[in-house]
Amino acid sequence: MLMRCTSNLFCATIASIFILSSTSIGITFASTRHLGEGEVVTRNNVFVDVTDAQRISASLSGKDVPIRHYLDDYAAGNTKPGSPVPEIYSGCDSEEYASRLSYGPNATGPRLAKLSALLLVMYGDKEVTNVAKKNSLLSAIRDELMGWMNAGFRKEGRLLTFSDYCSKRKIDPGTAKSLIALDIARFVPELVFTLDVLRLYNRLSEEDNAQVDRFFLHHISVLIEAANNHSAFNKLPCARYDNQTSMHLLAILSAATMLGERNVIAEVVGQAPGIMVTLPAQIDGAIYSAGDHPRDCFVGKEHDSGYRQIAEIAAGEIVDRYRNHQFQTFGYPLWSLTSLLQAFAIVRHRLPDAVKNKLQDSLDYYAYYFANFLENGFSAVPLETRSYPSYNQYAGKPVSRPDNASIEGADGIVAPFLMGKHFFPDDPQIDAVIQRVRHIGGPRAFRRVGPLFLKYVPFHDTSP
């Protein structure tokens, strides 16, 4: 039977029990997972499978469409001799891994994912020049990925444990340690996506697969321990159920699904103990319901506008709304929502309808702002009084970035609505966002969408 939070009071009670046990008697964290004698990993594709690849290729391969142009140009600029590639790192600093694999200049995760997206576009293409191009891309992707699997994340020849990781951020040690989970989690989905594509092309040897299995089995345990540490450290509900926890759960779930780790998947969905904040609890805690009050949260200092909340709460709002710096008030909630939708996509058949309904409520709430105020260049919510619930929380906040980044999908702000259109095809609020992107963006609409969302793009509407 699925165990989930049915009310905020229940969630808070469970969370307080976990925190009490973690601070007074110590949390029992997952031990490092190893394969038993004769045990075989069941490898699964997580984000894209053969059906997805065939559909994407049929829609885009050999066609003069903006998405294809963008991926071709990106590959040309990132595979030529001398293209900058982050050096493989093997120290303890988790932020250094996040920089080199997730958000730093030419970081490995997003770069390999984009190159892999081009391989999806060319899947099944037997043209001689494209076969050579595919083989070159596959070799480059495989070699860089396996370089990290074989040489990164090591201490004295073994993979780093959670206690081995450090954070060199100049902040208090507890906060720094609580960020280790996010540093690791943020690059996992893109690496899993890349592995999906390499396996579609049968490009990994058995030795490669075995090393990948060892790496991710180990890091599933590290991530669970790090995520539980984050949940235990953050006493305020707005921090415990924030975008970081959503990202932790997606990373754990994507790695566990790839390796067929059923026990871990059961922990994520709340059917077994082990993870302090499960996916149902996170969705319940992160997304406000009608009649809720603002979660207890940080209070902004007199001269620090980093935190701000109004008293009004609307159904569907996400706790990260309190983030007040440029692009944060929408950016952090929608980043959290995107991670939750990606996790939902993987295990939706194991979750109750209430979870699905809450996700739709959130998409519907935020759709208003993007269906009305999204533009090609910079735009913000008008500074005026409107009757839309909690409008004053967002008045004046940026909705879209310059240089068409939002309309084209580069900043990820439209990604949750693309997923929402797939899961809730008849929802008029979600459809209004998609239609605005198409209308304003024209042929540029969704041109630079993230690789993990490529399969959700309405390709038939992206041609000039």
**24 assigned to some structural domain:** no
Tokens of 228: 């539980």
**19 assigned to some structural domain:** no
**80 assigned to some structural domain:** yes
Which CATH number do you get for residue 447? 1.50.10.100
**350 assigned to some structural domain:** yes
**456 assigned to some structural domain:** yes
- The whole-angstrom separation of Cα 325 and Cα 319 is 15
**14 assigned to some structural domain:** no
Q: Among the residues of 306-414, which ranges form H helices?
A: 328-347, 353-373, 391-394
| Residues 15-47 pLDDT 10s | 333 333 333 323 333 445 555 555 556 799 999
> Residues 6 or more apart from 236 whose CB is under 8 A from it?
295, 296, 297, 298
Domain count for the chain: 1
**180 assigned to some structural domain:** yes
Q: How many CB atoms lie within 10 A of CB 149?
A: 19
**With b meaning 16 or more CB within 10 Å and e meaning fewer, what string describes 111-128?**
bbbbbbbbbbbbbeeeee
Torsion, Cα 137 338 51 450, to 10 degrees, reads -30
Domain that holds residue 61: 45-461
Yes or no: say if 306 and 300 are a contact pair by the CB < 8 Å rule: yes
> Residues 6 or more apart from 300 whose CB is under 8 A from it?
306, 307, 308, 324
- Those residues of the chain that have pLDDT short of 50 are 1-31, 462-464
